[in-house]
């Protein structure tokens, strides 16, 4: 029966017996976790739970960083097993994950998004551009890195950072909350 | 017909652009050109841009590509938009960046300039300081009973680029969609000017990250044409290999996301896993998952190692083995057919009128693929894949078909990698060139002018999305608002690419 091969169910059933596609979890570097713990303590910040809701904002990226953030959501990295998930509304978010050099045209939208988030929150600048403006830092249209307008808790350099590097950063936030 | 038009343009003074000539017209000739285009269906406006002294229009007349230029005394030039609707956003952009006004242009609202830069006309000979508060954006009005507006963005629900969409809806149906972009304006062109070609290449690579290979190649092609430099056959083959891998990973991404937007998560998950395999192979072979900065004017930075070749072949095998199964599942589910077929139709006449390239153009019957026509090395024979339905389904299926082609092309390139230098040194001299490379979205066009010291005197990178954004607006008309994510994804225009 040819029709049988076209069905989805047999393919889904295969998934039950074949090994998972997902990679082993990366381990965040200890120094990074300690630095984040120190930050938490210095701010005597109320602790978030054991999961994190992430709101991503592209504040001027070339979209390379978005590609890798999307890749991090694929089955290979499977964020949700760590209690990490992307949310649509900043009002539901614990983490603001920002990419791109901050363009002047995005400044207001980024600040609005940040203001909508409940405290406590983490702000993460992902990608060389978000760290300090990257190659775009000298432009009339760019404010600089994300820290030009928001206090940043974690920098994830790279052009773009790989999904593994991004995941490591997110796990470091979780770990800091656990031990902090 | 086009013959008369060609003669008209060729009356201008040759400016020495290679391989496509640029002609400087006087104001009378420029006006005559616009009048003549008005009657000619066969003319495609590929791009319109400026420098402090002139405006430039890249035109395709049948098989011929050329650039027509005109000086802008007192900052004014005759507009293209009354005869070429695709010119509207270019003219608004020209005014924002160089301060030249398109006389008779059908839309004079700002585009990239939101009133938030410290200066106006940042690329003009003398930019003016700006201390005004940012103005409220103005949207095109819609009249009718029960029409209301829904503003969306610039920050969206998902992990995508920022842009504002203003929907006018009547009940559930969208009467008009208007996009307001420019949020990602980084001042690309300004950053490229005055830099050596090798440094400016870093900006071309970051115009739209998903097309980093295609844009780097088109920029390199422009520079090489300007300098009369011919990269080695090996460098060209490696570029094409990277370009096909880029097409493959993006088509996988788009196809998967389309299924996801129609709530079919499994196909998205599988496509994502395959895409990851391609990206990892690219990282093994070229040291970067997206292959960014691997193509430079003069050649490429890395050779293909045996280990890299093996990684790519393994990834291609994995994708090739699974694609037919994914296609079969796509084909056999009514829930997908229901969402995709007949949704977001773009009429063939519109695609022709806007000269839309890539999957968007080909899914509506425009048989244009820069690898085929004008064609460039190392691509030999390649027939563009075409479909005519013009709906979301046609665009999804075309991506599936093109993935198979890219796999075959990549295999062929690796099986017969010719010898040659990886990169040639760039001579230091003046010149002007135009590069045209087919990326996964369509043709990436880069115009470059170098001065005597080999520094960029002028440049314009034109992402294919310039010609797609207006069609997204057209595709939404009469569709329901809930289908917007699906239709938007099926077009997948770049925001960063056009925000410059
Ligand atoms: S860091 Fe690199 S990939 Fe990310 S936005 Fe900047 S240029 Fe693009």
Rounded Cα–Cα distance for residues B67 and B48 (Å) = 9
Query: How deeply is A178 buried, as exposed, middle or buried, from its count of CB atoms within 10 A (0-12, 13-18, 19+)?
Result: exposed
pLDDT of B4:
82
Closest Cβ–Cβ partner in A69, A88, A106 for B154: A106
Q: Are strands B119-120 and B164-170 parallel, antiparallel or unpaired?
A: unpaired
> What's the whole-number mean pLDDT along residues B233-243?
97
Do B18 and B228 form a contact (C-beta atoms < 8 A)?
Answer: yes
Q: Is A51 on the interface with B (CB under 8 A)?
A: no
Per-residue tokens: B13 = 């003074």
From its phi and psi, is residue B146 left (phi > 0), alpha (psi between -120 and 50) or beta? left
> What's the whole-number mean pLDDT along residues B143-162?
90
Chain segment B393-418, per-residue pLDDT in tens: 999 999 999 999 999 999 999 999 99
Do B155 and B162 form a contact (C-beta atoms < 8 A)?
Answer: yes
Per-residue tokens: A30 = 């200890």
Per-residue tokens: B1 = 């017909």
DSSP state of A106: T
Do B125 and B52 form a contact (C-beta atoms < 8 A)?
Answer: yes
Per-residue tokens: B328 = 């079969």
Q: Is B209 on the interface with A (CB under 8 A)?
A: yes
Whether residues A66 and B159 touch (CB distance < 8 A) is answered with yes
Specify the higher pLDDT residue, B241 or A4.
B241
| Three-state DSSP state, A46 | coil
Per-residue tokens: B274 = 């395959």
The pLDDT-based confidence of B52 (bands split at 50, 70, 90) is very high
> What's the whole-number mean pLDDT along residues B422-433?
95
Q: Is A34 on the interface with B (CB under 8 A)?
A: no
Do B19 and B228 form a contact (C-beta atoms < 8 A)?
Answer: no
Rounded Cα–Cα distance for residues B153 and B156 (Å) = 5
DSSP state of B375: I
Do B107 and B92 form a contact (C-beta atoms < 8 A)?
Answer: yes
Closest Cβ–Cβ partner in A60, A74, A139 for B190: A139
DSSP B136-174: PP------STTEEEEEE-SS-SSS----EEEEEEETTEE
Per-residue tokens: B475 = 């595709």
From its phi and psi, is residue B171 left (phi > 0), alpha (psi between -120 and 50) or beta? left
Do A119 and A148 form a contact (C-beta atoms < 8 A)?
Answer: no
pLDDT of A44:
60
Find, among A92, A168, A73, the residue nearest to A124 by Cα.
A168
Q: Residue A10's closest chain B neighbor by CA?
A: B329
| Three-state DSSP state, B261 | helix
Chain segment B182-205, per-residue pLDDT in tens: 999 999 999 999 999 999 999 999
Q: Which of residues 283-302 of B touch A (CB under 8 A)?
A: 289-290, 292
Closest Cβ–Cβ partner in B116, B122, B208 for A63: B208
Phi and psi (nearest 5°) for B153?
90, 180
Rounded Cα–Cα distance for residues B250 and B126 (Å) = 41
Per-residue tokens: B289 = 């998952």
Q: Is the ipTM of this complex over 0.90?
A: yes
B88: CB partners within 8 A, 6+ apart? B81, B105, B106, B107, B470
> What's the whole-number mean pLDDT along residues B419-432?
94
Closest Cβ–Cβ partner in A7, A69, A106 for B159: A69
- Homologous superfamily, domain B2-129: NADH:ubiquinone oxidoreductase Nqo5 subunit (3.30.460.80)
pLDDT of B296:
96
Q: Residue A106's closest chain B neighbor by CA?
A: B183
Domains of chain A listed by start with CATH number: 45-179 (3.40.50.12280)
Which residues in B lie closer than 8 A to residue A105 (C-beta atoms)? 114, 116, 182-185
Residue A142, CA atoms < 13 Å, CB-side half-sphere: 29
Whether residues B325 and A11 touch (CB distance < 8 A) is answered with yes
The CATH architecture annotation of domain B188-491 reads Orthogonal Bundle (1.10)
Whether residues A140 and B118 touch (CB distance < 8 A) is answered with yes
Percent of chain B with pLDDT over 70: 100
| Three-state DSSP state, B287 | coil
What's the CA-to-centroid distance between B284 and ligand 1, angstroms? Answer: 20
Find, among B204, B201, B269, B276, the residue nearest to B245 by Cα.
B276
Per-residue tokens: B421 = 């230098």
Question: How many residues in chain A?
Answer: 180
Per-residue tokens: B373 = 């026509």
Chain segment A71-91, per-residue pLDDT in tens: 999 999 999 989 999 999 999
Chain segment B444-470, per-residue pLDDT in tens: 999 999 999 999 999 999 999 999 999
**Is residue B109 within a helix (H) or strand (E), and if so which, with residue range?**
none
Q: Where in chain B is the domain with CATH 1.10.645.10?
A: 188-491
> What's the whole-number mean pLDDT along residues A33-46?
77
> What's the whole-number mean pLDDT along residues A7-36?
82
Whether residues A63 and B119 touch (CB distance < 8 A) is answered with no
Q: How far is A28 from chain B (nearest CA, A)?
A: 21
B141: CB partners within 8 A, 6+ apart? none
The pLDDT-based confidence of A5 (bands split at 50, 70, 90) is low
Which residues in A lie closer than 8 A to residue B154 (C-beta atoms)? 106, 109
Which residues in A lie closer than 8 A to residue B199 (C-beta atoms)? none
Q: Is it the case that residue A22 has pLDDT exceeding 80? A: yes
B43: which strand partners? B61
Chain segment B273-304, per-residue pLDDT in tens: 999 999 999 999 999 999 999 999 999 999 99
Specify the higher pLDDT residue, B11 or A103.
A103
Which residues in A lie closer than 8 A to residue B212 (C-beta atoms)? 62, 64
What's the CA-to-centroid distance between A73 and ligand 1, angstroms? Answer: 18
Rounded Cα–Cα distance for residues B174 and B120 (Å) = 35
The pLDDT-based confidence of B268 (bands split at 50, 70, 90) is very high
B178: which strand partners? B166
Atom 5 (ligand 1) nearest CA: A61
What's the CA-to-centroid distance between B69 and ligand 1, angstroms? Answer: 34
Closest Cβ–Cβ partner in A8, A59, A108 for B266: A8
Find, among B188, B434, B468, B301, the residue nearest to A60 by Cα.
B188
Question: How many residues in chain B?
Answer: 500
The pLDDT-based confidence of B70 (bands split at 50, 70, 90) is very high
> What's the whole-number mean pLDDT along residues A124-129?
97
- Best of B186, B283, B293, B439 to disrupt the A interface by mutation (most A CBs within 10 Å)? B186
pLDDT of A21:
84
Q: Is it the case that residue A175 has pLDDT exceeding 60? A: yes
pLDDT of A1:
42
Q: Where in chain B is the domain with CATH 3.30.460.80?
A: 2-129
Chain segment B303-359, per-residue pLDDT in tens: 998 999 999 999 999 999 999 999 999 999 999 999 999 999 999 999 999 999 999
> What's the whole-number mean pLDDT along residues A56-73?
96
Chain segment B203-221, per-residue pLDDT in tens: 999 999 999 999 999 999 9
**Is residue B76 within a helix (H) or strand (E), and if so which, with residue range?**
strand B76-78
pTM of this prediction exceeds 0.90? yes
pLDDT of A10:
73
Phi and psi (nearest 5°) for B475?
-65, -25
Phi and psi (nearest 5°) for A52?
-135, 135
**Is residue A2 within a helix (H) or strand (E), and if so which, with residue range?**
helix A2-5
Specify the higher pLDDT residue, A64 or A179.
A64
pLDDT of B251:
97
Cα A108 to Cα A86, A127, B116, B155, B216: the distances in Å are 22, 20, 10, 11, 32
* Mean pLDDT (chain B, rounded): 94
* Mean pLDDT (chain A, rounded): 89
The pLDDT-based confidence of B435 (bands split at 50, 70, 90) is very high
Which residues in A lie closer than 8 A to residue B328 (C-beta atoms)? 5-6
Cα A171 to Cα A26, A52, A84: the distances in Å are 8, 10, 9
Rounded Cα–Cα distance for residues B425 and B410 (Å) = 27
Which residues in B lie closer than 8 A to residue A7 (C-beta atoms)? 332
What is the interface size between A and B, counted as CB pairs within 8 Å? 145
Mutational pocket test of ligand 1: of A59, A60, A62, the residue with most ligand atoms within 8 Å of the beta carbon: A62
Query: How many C-beta atoms lie closer than 10 Å to residue B388's C-beta?
Result: 11
Q: Is B367 on the interface with A (CB under 8 A)?
A: no
């Amino acid at each position: 029966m040819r029709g049988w091969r076209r069905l989805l169910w047999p393919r889904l059933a295969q998934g039950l017996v074949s090994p998972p596609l997902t990679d082993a979890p990366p381990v965040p570097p200890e120094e990074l976790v300690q630095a984040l713990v120190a930050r938490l303590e210095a701010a005597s910040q109320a602790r978030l739970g054991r999961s994190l809701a992430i709101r991503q904002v592209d504040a001027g990226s070339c979209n390379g960083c978005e590609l890798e953030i999307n890749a991090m959501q694929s089955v290979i990295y499977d964020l949700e097993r760590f209690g990490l998930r992307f949310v649509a509304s900043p009002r539901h978010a614990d983490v603001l994950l920002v990419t791109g050099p901050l363009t002047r045209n995005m400044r207001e939208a980024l600040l609005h998004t940040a203001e909508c988030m409940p405290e406590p929150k983490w702000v993460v600048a992902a990608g060389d551009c978000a760290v300090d403006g990257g190659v775009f830092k000298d432009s009339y249209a760019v404010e600089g890195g994300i820290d030009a307008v928001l206090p940043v808790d974690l920098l994830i350099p790279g052009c773009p950072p790989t999904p593994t590097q991004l995941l490591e950063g997110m796990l470091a936030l979780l770990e800091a909350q656990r031990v902090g | 017909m086009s013959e008369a038009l060609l003669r008209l343009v060729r009356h201008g003074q040759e400016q020495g652009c290679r391989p496509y000539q640029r002609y400087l017209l006087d104001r009378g000739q420029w006006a005559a050109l616009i009048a003549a285009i008005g009657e000619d269906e066969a003319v495609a406006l590929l791009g319109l841009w400026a420098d402090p002294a002139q405006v430039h229009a890249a035109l395709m007349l049948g098989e011929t590509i050329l650039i027509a230029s005109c000086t802008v005394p007192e900052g004014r030039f005759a507009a293209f938009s009354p005869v070429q609707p695709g010119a509207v956003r270019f003219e608004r952009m020209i005014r924002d960046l160089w301060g030249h006004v398109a006389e008779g242009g059908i839309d004079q609202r700002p585009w990239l300039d939101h009133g938030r830069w410290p200066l106006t006309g940042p690329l003009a000979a003398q930019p003016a300081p700006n201390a005004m508060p940012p103005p409220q954006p103005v949207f095109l009005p819609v009249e009718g009973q029960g029409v209301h507006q829904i503003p969306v963005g610039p920050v969206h629900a998902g992990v995508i680029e920022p842009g504002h969409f203003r929907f006018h809806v009547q009940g559930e149906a969208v009467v008009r969609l208007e996009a307001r972009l420019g949020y990602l304006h980084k001042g690309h062109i300004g950053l490229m000017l005055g830099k050596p070609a090798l440094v400016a290449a870093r900006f071309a690579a970051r115009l739209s990250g998903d097309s980093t290979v295609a844009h780097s190649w088109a920029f390199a092609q422009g520079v090489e044409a300007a300098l009369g430099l011919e990269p080695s056959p090996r460098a060209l083959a490696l570029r094409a290999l990277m370009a096909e891998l880029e097409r493959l990973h993006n088509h996988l991404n788009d196809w998967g996301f389309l299924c996801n937007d129609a709530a079919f998560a499994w196909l998205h998950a599988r496509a994502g896993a395959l895409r990851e395999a391609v990206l990892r192979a690219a990282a093994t072979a070229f040291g970067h998952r997206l292959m960014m900065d691997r193509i430079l004017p003069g050649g490429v930075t890395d050779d293909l190692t045996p280990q890299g070749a093996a990684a790519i072949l393994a990834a291609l095998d994995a994708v090739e083995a699974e694609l037919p199964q994914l296609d079969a599942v796509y084909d056999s589910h009514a829930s997908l057919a229901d969402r995709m077929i007949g949704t977001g139709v773009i009429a063939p006449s519109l695609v022709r009128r806007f000269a839309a390239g890539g999957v968007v153009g080909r899914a509506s019957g425009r048989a244009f693929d820069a690898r085929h026509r004008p064609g460039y090395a190392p691509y030999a024979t390649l027939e563009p894949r075409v479909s005519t339905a013009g709906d979301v389904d046609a665009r999804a299926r075309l991506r599936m078909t093109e993935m198979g082609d890219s796999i075959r092309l990549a295999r062929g390139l690796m099986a017969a990698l010719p010898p040659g230098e990886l990169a040639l040194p760039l001579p230091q001299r003046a010149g002007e060139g135009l590069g045209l490379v087919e990326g996964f979205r369509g043709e990436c066009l880069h115009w470059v002018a170098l001065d005597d010291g080999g520094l960029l005197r002028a440049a314009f990178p034109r992402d294919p999305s310039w010609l797609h954004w207006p069609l997204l607006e057209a595709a939404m008309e009469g569709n329901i608002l809930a289908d917007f994510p699906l239709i938007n994804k099926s077009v997948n225009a770049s925001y960063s690419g056009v925000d410059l």
